[in-house]
Amino acid sequence: MAKLKKSPWLLHYDGSSCNGCDIEVLAALTPVYDAERFGVMNTGDPLQADIFLITGGINTQNKDVVKQLYDQMPRPKVVVAVGVCACTGGVFKDCYNILGGADSVIPVDIYVPGCAARPQAIIDGVVQAVELLEKRSEEHKAMKKNKKKGA
Amino acid sequence: MAEVIHPDEILDEIEVSDLLTKALSLKKDNFRLSQACAAYANEKIELSYSFANDDTYQFTTLRVVIDPETEVPSITEIIPPAVFYENEMKELFGVKIKMISTDLQNRLYRIEEETPMIPKKGGN
Amino acid sequence: MGKRSVIPYGPQHPVLPEPIHIDLVVEDETVIEAIPSVGFIHRGLEGLAEKRDFNQMTYIAERVCGICSFQHGMGYCEAVERVFGVEVPNRAKYLRTIWAELGRMHSHLLWLGLLADGFGYENLFYQCWRVREKVLDLQEMTSGGRLIFSVNCVGGVLKDIPQEKLDIILKTLDEVEEECKIIKDTFFQDYTVQSRLQGVGILTKEQAHDLGCAGPFARASGIRTDMRKLGYAAYPDLDFEPIISTAGDSFARCYIRTMEVFQSIDLLRQAIAKIPNETDLVTPVKGNPNGEAFMRVEQPRGEAVYYVKANGSPNLDRFRVRTPTFANLPGLCEMLKNTKLADVGLLVITIDPCVSCTER
């Protein structure tokens, strides 16, 4: 991974997971695994977040919450689906209240498999998200520049 | 060697009309509501109200078997914490419970499907 | 009378990783009433019983909650075993006890960390989670999974823990005990901890009983309840007393859970010393279950009730879990009354809420 220009902030939301992936996300941020060494910081405020970590599938009640959190995040942004439930619905796919994975309501960029996803896998996903974010912010800047020229 | 306290569990099948008096007498005997749930079998709904005593570890279940159309009185007036259990029964099984202290009008879990725990007729 | 207003708390907020929504009616800074609304994680897991057979349901039951995953699987299996009327081999009983107590340790350390984070003691939070990783390593070494083991099956357990690994557990327990002593001293003696926890969020014994509270939350209010006394798994052979406190405040809850970490260490040592040398790990079951059974187990968060109703076909008629947090919700709402708004986040943590358990 090349040197980073910025420290991306991370927003975590528990869709309808069993809690396993959530505590692994937290474990990935605590000293033993320490995702913070990549400059990533956990925040509770969607307005300041760059990377959206979502665990668990989407159900009828939280789909609006997830959509709203995604919309509140400033561009550019990256979505990481952590755990098999967020990827596809997992073991709960056939439950009456599960609509599917996180990609049924918001665009997902990176899928982290596992039940529960291991901290190493989560860190790998976050690192990929950081790289993608760099790329997107370059594109975003270029787009803004072009707009200015055009105006 | 630790002592084991495990009195036999009691399953008491009662009529709907006896539910409130039985629940009240259990409450007076220092029982707390441990759980309440509904189950659907043979086109009947079985309601189980389980009470537990923390001193004797006694576990007593009151069982009411009803038709899906029968109305059931709420025990929330006697046992306030039953409110979540009764709302759950109402939402998932469509049990007709009268006079819940805080009736959430099938909005406890806010699911879109109606009475999901009752198998669909004629469906798969 | 001050000005009344309603403040929504959650579902997405920084204190808890899980979504729970509470509407707080406040008068100036004091909470008058708390109205919880659940359903953000409702999956309808109990409804899966009609699509999966009773063996497959073991894995669904384990995913009711990722923290007390093993105990959920164990509770479900014990309930089905009751329907079958089979006795689990002795060694399997001990193995279940060992995994259950490891799970309790990691859950309590996790909670202590979240509590420390709740009152802003970041350092202590990191220390608790660092020690917890050692317990997780033990779980991974013995079962292959950090959180979700999938070692339970109806009739016994699928994996054995060989003697060498039991020795490693004992060795690690010594290290963990030393580190937990330091954590315990910090929680019990530190001035900041005391000032945030003592006398806050009091629930009396009568209230706790009337509202049907369970587990450490009830024990902190002086109710002597511990379902391990019912004698499932290998608990009849082990020596322990429920830890209770009579204060009923947040500090009492912290005290109970801290001391239970040491109790679990002690139980693990006893279980490893007594574990019988057998090769049988599973009592095979024949056919399909027919009948019904209730099973109560003591989870890290308290009493969980499993209800299984079978009709002789592979699919169960009804699988029901009443999880401890579901029982503790009325207690939480009562406790939040007349507290300061700033304490709410901390008080919600003190019941050790597990929202995915609650809503299933």
**β-strand partners of B11:** B61
Minimal CA–CA distance to A85: which of A60, A105, A112? A112
Runs of H (alpha helix) within C85-190: 90-118, 122-143, 163-189
Q: Are A56 and A17 within 8 A, CB to CB?
A: yes
Q: Are A58 and A15 within 8 A, CB to CB?
A: yes
C-alpha distances out from residue C312 to C291, C309, C315, C317, Å: 8, 10, 8, 9
Q: Are C43 and C360 within 8 A, CB to CB?
A: yes
Cross-chain Cβ contact B110/A60 below 8 Å = yes
What residues make up the domain containing C248? 4-359
C-alpha distances out from residue C227 to B3, C47, C301, C330, Å: 12, 27, 11, 20
Give the 3-state secondary structure of residue C176: helix
Whether the predicted pLDDT of B124 surpasses 60:
no
H-helix or E-strand spanning residue C274: helix C250-274
Separation CA C298–CA C96 (nearest Å): 13
Name which of C13, C14, C129 is nearest A27 (Cβ-Cβ): C129
Q: Are C204 and C221 within 8 A, CB to CB?
A: yes
Separation CA A79–CA A109 (nearest Å): 5
- What is the total count of domains within chain C? 1
Distance of CA C80 to the CA centre of its chain: 21
**Sequence ranges of the domains in chain B:** 10-98
Specify the residue for token string 């699928």: C158
Instruction: For residue A96, give how far its alpha carbon lies from the nearest alpha carbon of chain B (Å).
Output: 7
The torsion defined by the Cα of C96, C102, C107 and C108, in degrees rounded to 10, comes to 120
Reading chain C (360 residues) residue by residue, the pLDDT tens digits are: 678 888 887 776 666 667 778 888 888 888 888 888 777 778 878 878 778 888 888 888 888 888 888 888 888 998 888 888 888 888 888 999 999 999 999 899 988 888 888 888 888 888 888 898 889 888 888 888 888 888 888 888 888 888 888 899 999 999 999 999 999 998 888 888 888 888 888 888 888 888 888 888 888 888 888 888 887 888 888 888 888 888 888 889 889 999 999 999 999 999 998 888 888 888 888 888 888 888 888 888 888 888 888 888 888 888 888 888 888 888 888 888 888 888 888 888 888 888 777 777
Specify the residue for token string 């359903």: C39
pLDDT in tens, A70-106: 888 888 889 999 888 888 888 888 888 888 888 888 8
Separation CA A42–CA A29 (nearest Å): 8
Determine what percent of chain A falls in helix, strand and coil, rounding each to the nearest 5: 45, 20, 35
Structure tokens at C130: 């660092």
Tell me the longest C-alpha to C-alpha distance in chain B: 56
Separation CA A55–CA A108 (nearest Å): 12
Domains and CATH numbers, chain A: 9-150 (3.40.50.12280)
Burial of B97 (0-12, 13-18, 19+ CB in 10 A): buried
pLDDT in tens, B48-84: 888 888 888 888 888 888 888 888 888 888 888 888 8
Structure tokens at C202: 């009091």
Cross-chain Cβ contact A92/C12 below 8 Å = no
Name which of A16, A95, A116 is nearest C66 (Cβ-Cβ): A116
pTM, two decimal places: 0.87
* B residues 13-42 lying closer than 8 A (beta carbon) to C: 30, 32-35, 37, 39-41
Separation CA B86–CA B38 (nearest Å): 9
* pLDDT band (50, 70, 90) for residue A4: low
Separation CA C8–CA C36 (nearest Å): 10
Note the residue count of chain A.
151
Cross-chain Cβ contact B54/C224 below 8 Å = yes
More confident residue, C209 or B3: C209
CATH number assigned to the domain with residue range B10-98, chosen from the 4 options 3.60.21.10, 3.30.460.80, 3.40.50.12780, 3.30.2000.10: 3.30.460.80
Residue C2: count other Cβ atoms within 10 Å of its Cβ.
10
* A residues 77-116 lying closer than 8 A (beta carbon) to B: 96-97
Instruction: For residue A59, give how far its alpha carbon lies from the nearest alpha carbon of chain B (Å).
Output: 8
Q: Which residue of B has its CA nearest to A61?
A: B110
Give the 3-state secondary structure of residue B24: helix
Residues in A touching C11 (Cβ below 8 Å): 62, 65
Q: Are C255 and C188 within 8 A, CB to CB?
A: yes
CATH code for position C345: 1.10.645.10
Runs of H (alpha helix) within chain A: 20-29, 63-72, 84-87, 119-150
Minimal CA–CA distance to C111: which of A26, A16, A82? A26
C-alpha distances out from residue C14 to A62, B97, C17, C33, C92, Å: 17, 38, 7, 22, 41
Residue B5: count other Cβ atoms within 10 Å of its Cβ.
13
